[in-house]
Amino acid sequence: MLADKNFYRSAEALGPAYEHPERLADETIEAYLRPLVSSDQRVRDLQRFLAAFDCKHTLAIEAQLRKLKTPTLIVWGTDDIYFDVRWSRWLAEAIPGTRRRVELKGARIFFPEERAAEFNQELRAHWLAK
């Protein structure tokens, strides 16, 4: 993916994580990937991290989430292929401190980068709320 940045943007790689993978700069891909493949150990760490993606970890802490009264903002992309939007609803119901749940129509997992202005607006409103 470092040698062929278009592969990173493709459906076979991380393209589906972006709403607009074609807009992703080569420099951004370098910044994301270069540290993750800088040594054999880091590659193994990345493999372990990816293999560990499982909702069971969230479900395992459900009892603690149901006690979380900290003001919570949940922002989710509706087109995220990795984390279905139903999880945002589940979290909002599970966390009593949820102030607001926002769905960004068409957004995917890297929405904080692609829709930084929109995301930052939600964060500021959350942080400034009394």
* Residue 51's pLDDT band (cuts 50, 70, 90): confident
Over residues 92-108, the mean pLDDT reads: 98
* Per-residue pLDDT at 46 exceeds 90: no
Confidence of residue 94 (pLDDT cuts 50, 70, 90): very high
pLDDT in tens, 54-76: 888 899 999 999 999 999 999 99
Query: Which residues make Cβ contacts (< 8 Å) with residue 92, sequence separation at least 6?
Result: 74, 98, 101
**Does position 50 have pLDDT exceeding 90, yes or no?**
no
Q: Could you give the CA distance from residue 84 to residue 71 in angstroms, rounded to a whole number?
A: 23
User: CA distances (Å), 19 to each of 80, 99, 113, in order?
Assistant: 9, 26, 10
Greatest alpha-carbon pair distance for the chain in Å reads 49
Mean pLDDT in residue range 6-26: 95
